[in-house]
Chain A
């Protein structure tokens, strides 16, 4: 079964840091780009960051550029999001998603980040 399982969320003060992890199983992890998408409370979906299968290219939304860093360890089938200089407006549920380039076909259950 294809599965993504996020962890690492929690409560952090403004200016603090968190690292999210996403453990993948059931597919060839290194063959797919992966992304992080967030959803603020009661709001819609926002693309945050993406990384190619090899990890050689990374992309970040302007709202997080310079503060967040996406990375992956293909030997561990794990995706990461390092979040620094956190702001109140970063409060959201963060989802990792498998990205076969036509959309997000597999999603994790989400991990909640609260900046307060």
Chain B
């Protein structure tokens, strides 16, 4: 099973700052990596798929990069509504998806 490790576990930043979240895979997942945002009491929301493609309706301040084993989600300038938990997910062996453990983005 491919294990995804996200870092940091918690990221404390202020609105307007740039956020960089990392996801590392235990073996290559090519570009088959997605990112989700989850706010308390809500279902997750797809942000990025196939490493760098924004999902429908996702603001341009969200971007994804990487391939192989190392991936990054960047939020260029944090808005108040961006503070949430972020998960990465791989799909190399559909549908046996695995998720990372999550990064909590909190207000500093």
List residues of chain A with CB under 8 Å of any chain B CB: 33, 35, 44-47, 50, 59, 61, 95, 99, 101-105, 107-110
Contact = CB atoms under 8 A, between A and B. Distances in A.
Given A44-B87, A45-B87, A103 B46 contact: yes
Contacts, number: 58
B45 interface: yes
Contact of A107 (B32, B43, B50, B94): B43
Given A44-B102, A45-B44, A105 B96 contact: no
Contacts of B100: 44
B50 A102 contact: yes
The 4 closest A-B pairs by CB, nearest first: A50-B95, A103-B34, A107-B43, A47-B97
Q: Looking at chain B, what size class is its interface with the partner chain?
A: 20 to 34
A107 B39 CA distance: 13
**Residue among B44, B56, B87 with max Cβ neighbours from chain A (10 Å):** B44
B55 to A, nearest CB: 6
A35 B44 CA distance: 14
B98 interface: yes
Interface string B35-58: 010100001111001100101100
Q: Which applies to chain B's interface (DSSP): helix, strand, loop or mixed?
A: loop
Interface of B: 32, 34, 36, 38, 43-46, 49-50, 53, 55-56, 87, 89, 91, 94-102
Contacts of A59: 95-96
A101 B102 CA distance: 21
Nearest to B94: A101
Contact of A110 (B43, B55, B96, B98): B43
Nearest to A93: B43
A82 B20 CA distance: 40
